[in-house]
């Protein structure tokens, strides 16, 4: 169920199967879900990556900008938005994190952006204090961290191109294709976990423009907007790719 990517992290996350996904190790700010049989099992110090399963409900904050960076996280299920705010409330969503993605590793002591669950989310958390050891002792883990960080950077650079130089239609086309790749099962339909406001704040647009552009795409037959508004069928990927520039 959890797609860990090609460099997929198996060892630490394997304990978090579909059935056990609800096990929660209580962390200060984590939502407490119904305790499972495993919930209070003492922390057997298994060697190597010992992740702490956690769960968060819709809108819940994993960490805020400026918070002490005690943990970093790998998404097990659900979607997370990481964002920054301007003093007057304008928001920029830097990234959406889907299963397999790693987030919250910092060079300094503090988190440099905020992260919230979109819908229900399960993650595996790792203590920052162990990062050094893990990187030192576990070459595979080190690779995963390095690769994940570099992939984040690649994504960020791609996204800067979008934010700085693409028009509304190009932004939406890029977004739809990217999401299609990242979270569609049949490669045709995608169930967006986020609201229009999230999309707008990710693409540097307004909700109105997002909505209008989607309607326009639908009228032009590029996509099919399914009733609920959150499901989208990509009818004409070729045309979308052409818009993508």
Q: Which one of residues 56, 71, 96, 113 is an interface residue with a copy of itself (CB under 8 A)?
A: 113
With binding defined as CB under 8 A, does residue 152 bind a copy of itself? yes
3-state secondary structure of 26: coil
Question: 193 to 232, contacts with a copy of itself by CB under 8 A?
Answer: 201-204
Among 60, 70, 106, 138, binds a copy of itself (CB under 8 A): 106
Closest CA to 192 of 175, 179, 178, 204: 179
Task: Please give the C-alpha separations between residue 220 and each of 38, 188, 208, 234, 236, in angstroms, as whole numbers.
Answer: 52, 17, 18, 12, 10
At its nearest, how many Å lie between DNA and the CB of residue 227?
A: 4
Are 120 and 34 within 8 A, CB to CB?
no
- Contact (CB, 8 A) for 134 and 142: yes
Backbone angles phi, psi at 234, to 5 degrees: -90, 100
CB of 14 to DNA, least distance (A): 32
Could you tell me which residues are beta bridge partners of residue 92?
Answer: 84
Under 8 Å CB-to-CB from 22, ≥6 apart: which residues?
A: 33, 34, 36, 55, 122
- Residue 235 interacting entry, from DNA, a copy of itself, none, C-beta within 5 to 8 Å by type: none
Of 5 and 233, which CB lies nearer to a copy of itself in the complex structure? 5
41 versus 242: smaller Cβ distance to DNA: 242
Binding region for DNA (CB under 7 A): 167-169, 195-197, 204-212, 214-215, 225, 227-230
Task: Pick from 135, 168, 177, 225 the residue near a copy of itself by CB under 8 A.
Answer: 135
How buried is residue 12: exposed, middle or buried, by Cβ count under 10 Å (0-12/13-18/19+)? buried
Cβ proximity of 123 and 29 under 8 Å: no
Q: Of the candidates 1, 28, 107, 238, which one interacts with a copy of itself according to CB under 8 A?
A: 107
In the complex, least distance from residue 185 CB atom to a copy of itself, rounded to whole angstroms: 25
* Sole binder of a copy of itself in the list 90, 186, 227, 228 (CB under 8 A): 90
Q: How many angstroms separate the CA atoms of 175 and 67, rounded?
A: 30
- According to CB under 8 A, which one of 25, 91, 130, 182 is a site residue for a copy of itself? 91
Least Å distance, CB 186 to a copy of itself, is: 27
Only segment of 21-29, 118-126, 159-167, 227-235 that touches a copy of itself (CB under 8 A): 159-167
């Amino acid at each position: 169920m959890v797609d860990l990517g090609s460099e997929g992290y198996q060892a630490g996350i394997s304990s978090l199967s579909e059935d056990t996904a609800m096990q929660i190790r209580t962390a200060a700010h984590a939502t407490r879900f119904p305790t499972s049989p495993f919930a209070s099992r003492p922390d057997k110090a298994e060697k190597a990556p010992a992740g702490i399963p956690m769960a968060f409900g819709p809108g819940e904050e994993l960490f805020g900008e400026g918070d002490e960076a005690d943990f970093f996280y790998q998404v097990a299920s659900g979607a997370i938005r990481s964002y920054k705010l301007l003093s007057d409330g304008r928001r920029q969503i830097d990234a959406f994190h889907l299963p397999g993605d790693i987030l919250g590793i910092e060079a300094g002591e503090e988190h440099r952006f905020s992260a919230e669950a979109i819908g229900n989310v399960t993650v595996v958390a790792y203590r920052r204090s162990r990062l050094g050891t893990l990187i030192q002792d576990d070459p595979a883990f080190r690779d995963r961290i390095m690769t994940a960080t570099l992939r984040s950077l690649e994504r960020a650079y791609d996204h800067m191109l979008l934010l700085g130089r693409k028009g509304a239609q190009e932004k939406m086309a890029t977004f739809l294709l990217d999401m299609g790749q990242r979270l569609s099962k049949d490669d045709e339909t995608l169930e967006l976990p986020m609201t229009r406001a999230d999309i707008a704040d990710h693409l540097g647009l307004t909700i109105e423009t997002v909505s209008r552009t989607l309607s326009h795409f639908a009228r032009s037959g590029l996509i099919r907007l399914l009733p609920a508004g959150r499901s989208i069928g990509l009818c004409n990927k070729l045309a979308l790719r052409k818009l993508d520039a």
